[in-house]
Amino acid sequence: MYCNVIKANFKDESALKSLLSYTDKGADYDRFQKFGALLKFWVKLSPSSGIFVIIYPSENLFANAKNEFSSIIKSLELTGSKIETFSGAIENLSYNDIFNEALKKIGTAFSLD
């Protein structure tokens, strides 16, 4: 499994709320489905900062989504946000049987090792 992580510090709380609203729309769901992401989530650090995480089940899907990840970063930079990015393989993952069975049902090649 692989992930892209964006840490963003926005100019104000409304900029963060706007982005969260935008990423909750159905089009966003379709876009992440298209690129094979397993899930995405935000971690709110303060009223105007957060961490965005996108998790992919395989290295191939992770690599294929590179341009999409770049477009998200460019959009954030246009808002005047301070952006830090991190990407790589997920190591030392703990999970339960429910998660494992869900991954098997989607039929996508993945590795939890």
Ordered by where they begin, the domains of the chain are 2-106 (3.30.70.100)
Closest CA to 52 of 85, 18, 11, 26: 85
pLDDT (0 to 100) of residue 110 = 57
pLDDT of residue 5: 92
Give pLDDT < 50 ranges for the chain: 113
pLDDT at position 84 is: 92
Report in angstroms the alpha-carbon separations of 39 from 3, 14, 31, 48, 93: 10, 24, 11, 23, 15
pLDDT tens string 24-51 = 665 567 777 777 888 888 899 999 999 9
Residues 21, 39, 31, 62, Cα dihedral to 10°: 130
What pLDDT sits at residue 68? 75
Indicate yes or no: pTM above 0.85: no
Note the pLDDT of residue 17.
79
